[in-house]
Structure 1
Amino acid sequence: MTGHIGIVGAGLVGAGWAIVFARAGHDVRVFDGAEATLAALPGRLDTALADLKQSGLISDPAAIRNRITIVETLGGALAGAQYVQESVFERTDVKRALYEQIDPLLGPGTLVGSSSSGIPASAFTGGMAHADRYLIVHPVNPPYLVPVVELVPSPATSEATVAQARELMTQVGQVPVHVRGEPQGFILNRLQGALLREAWALFEEGHASVADIDKTVSHGLGLRWSFMGPFETIDLNAPGGVRDYAERLGGLYLDIARDRTDPQPWNEELVARVEAERRACLPEQDLQTRGAWRDRRLMALAAHKTAAEQKDGT
């Protein structure tokens, strides 16, 4: 695959993708229909790149920044691109309208990945001339710090498109996960949703505070999950491995699952109680500062994991 990378949608996710591709040596052209979003992009990039350098994750932020160009038209981002990452507003009608513009402009061989976190590609690319070259490429924000990316083809997406997207994502340092079919919420959000569902329910039932539920993950489950997944976790948590674990604790987990047979929405009263506890811990005016702290912690973790994986040869 040759040619630059096109980014359509220059918000938080689009800006993060621009860094991913430029960091890997690709020339990147960014377009957004909102002038204010484009105007904010240079500052957003400069701040993120400075933080990455300070964390030791990059050495030459200027070189990365110089590979990113803002263009004034959708055609300017698409023309001659080997790959386009779309990151516009998460709404089916918005995406469908955009792809109706993209489809006639798409050059030979150009692939388009959508950052959609839950809307399947078939919902907004069905029936289009180049539907075989469209798929979901869903990142975790910010993608330059959290490398997993879900590749979710529609029924019309070709196998070659999936293979090329996987190759590109691997080349730019992401960790692609191939999702078969189009399950609602894909893989990551379904796993996250299961944990969130239980967290809200445990709080609503009065079993623990918001802070204590958070601590159970940040000082417990999350420590293992930062470097291994749920199957490896249980495989190592019983003397005989995963089968031994299933035989020992399968009944317990079945009882837990049966205890949640009637899921309920997060009602306004419940949301208000959770919000009150969170705002007591973190005032609303400090959300942005705490978000920057989160990103710095992610940078430190990314640097540690990179060094550890290089040492272990993994």
Structure 2
Amino acid sequence: MVFRRRSSLEADNLKMRQSHRCINGQIGRSWALRFASAGYLVALYDVIPERVTRTLESLLEQLHSQSRDGLLRGTLGVEEQWGRIRGVQDLGECVTGAVWVQANPPSCSRVAELVPAPWTAPETVTRAQDLIKAIGQSPITLKKEIPGFILNRMQYAIMAESYRLVKGGFLSPDGVNKTLSAGLGRRYAFLGPFQTAHLNAEGFGSYCERYADMIHRVQQSFGAPQQMGGALAEHIQEEMAKEVPLDRLGGGQEKKGSQDGSAWKTQRRFGRRQVIEIRDIKDINTVIIISD
């Protein structure tokens, strides 16, 4: 995605900047809607022009669906947001005069992980943080890069133990889900792990004095990482499909006219994250953001 700032008067009065998206698909659609909801102009590009047409049709459907379900973001109405999105046929049109380039970030999470390179200028990081905040996101800035980045590592740790508990016969898949959705997840969603621990004792130091040994003993029983798949994965899927059948999930591109899967995912999928890797291109004053 490439951002080009309009005149300062226009930006101040209309709260609009030029935003050109150079990536299509489900991920691209999600970010297009996110920026349009904040008043940015968005242009979609794909090497296959027909995909842009299909994406534009899908975006309009999603806007109407979100409006019906009370999930429309920002203060702009459907037509106002839709009016800020267009398709382009030439990549050069996207990058000419750009001050910001972004490619392929996921959606459906408020947090955006900013990953500066060792040579990234501090003002570049600040500029990235300000832009992410301007569209209603919550940036976190890594001090250095690590495989999986942050949210994925925490998510995978929970997934690994959840899988191990089911495989070991300790709990059903539904029981694992309820433990998070009705228990731990409620506390962590509002406070996070450290603030939760801090409030569970007379501060985090007191928490460590009381529980560090027990936590360490339990952690030692976790065992080595296990590859998910096979019969157990099929069993878990069957259990999950009792609540949400596979035909309600749609696909990467939901079928036209069918909003079941899309609406469900919009309301229930909060685990995705955005990982943004910042590169400072000083010669053209551009920030390039790449996400896995």
Normalising by structure 1, we get a TM-score of: 0.71
Name structure 2 gaps, 5 residues minimum.
Answer: 7-17, 251-259, 271-292
* Contact residue 151 and residue 179 of structure 1 kept, 8 A: yes
Name structure 1 gaps, 5 residues minimum.
Answer: 88-114, 116-138, 300-314
Selected match of 1:150 from 113, 128, 153: 113
2:9 corresponds in structure 1 to none
Work out the CA distance in 2 between the residues paired with 1:158 and 1:183. Answer: 20
The Cα offsets for residues 71-112 of structure 1, whole Å up to 9 and x where unpaired, read as 11211211223322211xxxxxxxxxxxxxxxxxxxxxxxxx
Work out the CA distance in 1 between the residues paired with 2:264 and 2:224. Answer: 37
Q: CA deviation at 1:36?
A: 4.5
Q: CA deviation at 1:254?
A: 0.8
1:39 corresponds in structure 2 to 53
Work out the CA distance in 2 between the residues paired with 1:43 and 1:236. Answer: 48
1:75 corresponds in structure 2 to 92
The Cα offsets for residues 202-244 of structure 1, whole Å up to 9 and x where unpaired, read as 0100111111101111111222233221111111222x12222
Question: Residue 296 in 1 paired to residue 258 in 2?
Answer: no
**Match of 2:128, as an amino acid?**
A
Q: CA deviation at 1:276?
A: 2.8
2:124 corresponds in structure 1 to 161
* Contact residue 234 and residue 241 of structure 1 kept, 8 A: yes
Question: Residue 269 in 1 paired to residue 240 in 2?
Answer: no
Work out the CA distance in 2 between the residues paired with 1:249 and 1:278. Answer: 34
Question: Residue 28 in 1 paired to residue 42 in 2?
Answer: yes
The Cα offsets for residues 108-159 of structure 1, whole Å up to 9 and x where unpaired, read as xxxxxxx2xxxxxxxxxxxxxxxxxxxxxxx5x23xxx32101112234333
Selected match of 2:145 from 164, 174, 182: 182
The Cα offsets for residues 164-185 of structure 1, whole Å up to 9 and x where unpaired, read as 1111111221111001211001
User: Which structure is higher in helix share?
Assistant: 1
The farther-off stretch of 187-196 and 34-43 is: 34-43
Secondary structure (helix, strand or coil) at the match of 2:136 reads: coil
- Describe the shift of the 1:280–1:297 C-alpha distance in structure 2 as closer, same or farther (beyond 3 A): closer
Instruction: Summarize the alignment of residues 1-314 of structure 1 with structure 2, pairs less than 5 Å apart.
Output: 2-3=5-6, 4-54=18-68, 55=70, 57=73, 58-87=75-104, 115=105, 139=106, 141-142=107-108, 146-238=109-201, 240-288=202-250, 289-296=260-267
The farther-off stretch of 151-160 and 178-187 is: 151-160
Work out the CA distance in 2 between the residues paired with 1:291 and 1:254. Answer: 41
Q: Give the % identical residues.
A: 32
Aligned residue pair count? 244
The Cα offsets for residues 14-55 of structure 1, whole Å up to 9 and x where unpaired, read as 111112222222212221223443222123222332244341
* Contact residue 56 and residue 87 of structure 2 kept, 8 A: no
* Contact residue 249 and residue 265 of structure 2 kept, 8 A: no
* Contact residue 53 and residue 59 of structure 1 kept, 8 A: no
The Cα offsets for residues 245-282 of structure 1, whole Å up to 9 and x where unpaired, read as 22222122211221124222114233222223223443
Q: CA deviation at 1:192?
A: 0.6
Q: CA RMSD, aligned part only?
A: 2.2
* Contact residue 42 and residue 84 of structure 2 kept, 8 A: yes
* Contact residue 10 and residue 30 of structure 1 kept, 8 A: yes
* Contact residue 18 and residue 28 of structure 1 kept, 8 A: yes
Secondary structure (helix, strand or coil) at the match of 1:177 reads: strand
**Match of 2:54, as an amino acid?**
A
Normalising by structure 2, we get a TM-score of: 0.76
